[in-house]
Amino acid sequence: MTVEVRLTTPGRLDEVLGLPVDAVSIGQEGCAAKLPDALTLRQALARIRQAGLRAGVVLPAAWQRSSIRLTGLARDLAGQGPLTVTVNDLGTASALTDAGCELAAGLALMPGRPHDADQAPRGPLEAPVFEEPYLHELAVFGITALESDAAALVPEKSGLTVRRLLDVTPLAWARSCPTARHHRLAPPDCTSACDRPVDMAATHRWQLGHGHREPIPVADRPAQVPLTVYGNAVYTRTPTTAPPAGDVIIDARFYTPDQLATRVHSLRSPVPAASF
C-alpha cells in the first residue's frame, strides 16, 4: 500500500511532510483559478522529492480559456523531476502523452453511477463501474494510473494502478462555481473562499420529465446524503470502514491536523475507521 495525501495548496506541506506518507500531490479537480502559481508549485514539488516521496500535481478540467496554460505548466513541472500529473479531462491527457511524466486519470473522469430506473431502486451512492472499453480508452492516452472513490468497481486485469480516495465520495463538479456566487466574488478573488466548506442537504430535485424543480418528499429526505461543497466541487463524507487494499489517497481538507495524523497512522497500524 502507498499512502498519498492531497493538498489544494502547499499551505499544510510542513505538516504533511512530517507524516509517514509515500506521496504528496497538490491541486484539485475543479477550478484552474485555485491552482498555485508555477513558482510556488516548483518549490513545493522540489521539497516533496527531497523528502523521498512521489510528487504529484492535480490539474483541474481544462476549459478553452485555461487549457494552454495548464498543459504548459504541467510540461514545465515535469521537466523539473519525476512527477505524477493527474488529469481530469481527456484533452489534457492527449496533450501530455509525451510529457515524460506519469499520467493518472483523476476523480472527475470517473464514470457515472448506475441509475437504471427499470431495475430495483438504488441507493444514492451506487458504486461507479469502470468498464473495460473505457479503461482501454484511458490507456490509449498514456494513462497508467486511475483515481477512484473507495467503492468503485475496477476490473482486476485493467493493468492500471488504482488509487482510492478514502472517507470521502466525490459527487459532482460545476462549471459555474456556487462558492464564488455565494460569496459574491469572481476569480481569482474567490480562491480565498475555496477551502471554507459549505455543508448542505438536498431539499429539492429537478424533475427532468416535466422541466421543473420539485420538493423532495419528506419521507425520502432521510435517504439524502449530507453534502459538503468546496469551491465548485460537491462531496459527501463516507467513512471507509473496511481495511483498504492497495494504494490510497487522503484529501487533507476533510481533516484537522490531529485527525490527519491519526488517519495516516491508522493505515500503517490499522484501527477501525469509524472513529474518524
Note the pLDDT of residue 35. 93
Model confidence pLDDT, tens digit, residues 2-25: 999 999 999 999 999 999 999 999
Model confidence pLDDT, tens digit, residues 172-190: 888 788 888 888 998 888 8
Indicate if the pLDDT at residue 248 is higher than 70. yes
Model confidence pLDDT, tens digit, residues 86-102: 999 999 999 999 999 99
Indicate if the pLDDT at residue 271 is higher than 60. no
Note the pLDDT of residue 119. 53
Total Cβ atoms within 10 A of residue 180? 20
Indicate if the pLDDT at residue 103 is higher than 70. yes
Confidence label for 120 from pLDDT (cuts 50, 70 and 90): low
* DSSP code string of the chain: --EEEEESSGGGHHHHHTS--SEEEEE-SS-GGGSPPHHHHHHHHHHHHHTT-EEEEEPPP--TTTHHHHHHHHHHHHTTS--EEEESSHHHHHHTTTSSSEEEE-GGGSPPPP--TTSS---TTPPPB--HHHHHHHHHTTEEEEEEETT-B--TTS-SEEEEE-SEEEEEE-SS-HHHHHHT--TTGGGGGTTS-EEE---EEEETTTTEEEEPPGGGGGGSPPEEEETTEEEEE----SPP-SEEEEEGGGS-HHHHHHHHHHHHS---GGG-
Closest CA to 173 of 249, 88, 108: 108
Are 132 and 173 within 8 A, CB to CB?
A: no
Indicate if the pLDDT at residue 270 is higher than 70. no
Confidence label for 117 from pLDDT (cuts 50, 70 and 90): low
Note the pLDDT of residue 8. 95
Q: Considering the chain, what percentage of its residues have pLDDT values greater than 70?
A: 93
Note the pLDDT of residue 27. 96
Closest CA to 41 of 98, 102, 94, 83: 83
Torsion of CA 23, 46, 15, 21, to 10 degrees: 20
| Mean pLDDT of all residues in 215-237 | 87
Model confidence pLDDT, tens digit, residues 56-84: 999 998 877 788 999 999 999 999 999 99
Distances (CA, A) of 275 to 30, 247, 263: 29, 21, 9
84's CB contacts (< 8 A; 6+ apart) are 23, 25, 54, 55, 56, 57, 101, 102, 103, 104, 145
Are 9 and 253 within 8 A, CB to CB?
A: no
Q: Is the bond into 222 cis (omega within 30 degrees of 0)? A: no
Note the pLDDT of residue 122. 54
CA 109 to chain centre: 10
Cell of 106: 483523476
Indicate if the pLDDT at residue 196 is higher than 60. yes
Indicate if the pLDDT at residue 273 is higher than 90. no
Closest CA to 128 of 145, 115, 116, 111: 111
The partner residues of 25 in beta bridges, in order of sequence, read 6, 56
Does the predicted TM-score (pTM) go above 0.75?
Answer: yes
